[in-house]
Amino acid sequence: MADIKTCPPLSPDSIREAYALIGPNIHHTPVVTSKTLNRIASSPQAASALKGTVFEDQRPAKPVFRLYFKCENFQKIGAFKARGAFHALMRLCDQIGVDEVRKRGVTTHSSGRSHTLTLEAPIANSNLLAGNHAQALALAASTLGVPAHIVMPSISTPSKIAGTKSYGARVVFSGSTEPERVAVVQDIIRETGAILIPPYDHPDIILGQGTAALELESQVIDLLKQPPSKGDIKKDHPLDAVLTPLGGGGLLGGTASYFSNTPSTRVFGAEPSFEGGDDGRRGLAAGSRIPTVSTLTIADGLRTPVGEINWTVISDNKKVQGIFAVTENQIKEAMKLVLERMKLFIEPSAAVPVAVVLFAEEFRRIVEREGGEEGWDVGVILSGGNTTVEAIQKLYRED
């Protein structure tokens, strides 16, 4: 990676510069709306849904939502990770020269998870989702003519292996645990001089991911200028809130950095609660970052702890106003609604912020209290769509 000391600051201007750099190489993904999802989200939850929570026997919130879904499931390689990979690699080429990068090549491993993968995970092909960065780096390297050495667990699905190889990357197999993958990466670095491009915890990655938020805001402004709106919109920054999934924290950190000078737009994170997958939320409550996570949540792209650099952004309450967690069933229900009502194919990790809007009563009460009858315009970043029909069948067959 480019030397952290030479990286631009995590600021809106740096994200604009990142967007100018990577724009020709990424998709300008659409923002879509849904009256049906607005209506469902703006309806009170059933009282039974609050049983066993701190809100039991209280009146369910009745917030008013206007939702704008940023479809990174339509991004290259099917996830927002393409943004960070292109930015990190292009910045590296700018810093040490493209010829030097092509001479040495780049490397990464296909999963940031910190636990042993098992074939008994809730989704049998769980490794399919967590290697989005690996495929993104393979694509970026192929585009720029840079050799890529991608370390993948030997249990990776054939489609994942084929997809990574299709970009011209060299795939090197390893064991399934993170220490085993890291050891192989270190061997590659010693043998080839390849440069490591980490999946989330580096300023260049964070700035690249933040370009999704930049696009989202611009697209919402354009949407609000169209009928049935009358005339110009009332404010320069129309979004009252933006929600993103939280795993390693690159997307949330980048989004929070983009809106860091826009106090009227509040940024929130969304995590799974299963088996302690809500390390970001728990870390905020404890006042310190939680360095390890061991969860088999169905939102397997979020099974990794928040990175150290990302934590400096996420733990700043002027940049991130809260993190909320949802259950496995709530994630499944949100994913089903997006698929059936919006006809959008997303992975479980992408459904987590949707589930927060629908089911996280604490968040819904904030919107009701502060949005009043007018409500909030809320952006939701759908982080990716890298799953399979077989995985979805298995997920809902268990119901």
Using CA atoms of 263, 216, 279, 43 in order, give the dihedral in degrees to the nearest 10: 90
CA distance 351 to 364: 17
| 111 in active site | yes
Distant-in-sequence, close-in-space partners of 318: CB < 8 Å, separation ≥ 6: 260, 263
**CA 299 to chain CA mean position, Å:** 11
**3-state DSSP assignment of residue 228:** coil
For helices 348-359 and 328-342, the axis angle rounded to 10 degrees is: 100
CA distance 353 to 359: 10
- Catalytic residue, candidates 34, 110, 111, 260: 111
- Catalytic residue, candidates 76, 81, 319, 332: 81
Both tokens of residue 58? 């209280």
| 81 in active site | yes
**3-state DSSP assignment of residue 204:** helix
Instruction: Give the other-Cβ count within 10 Å of 362's Cβ.
Output: 14
Q: Which residues are catalytic?
A: 81, 111
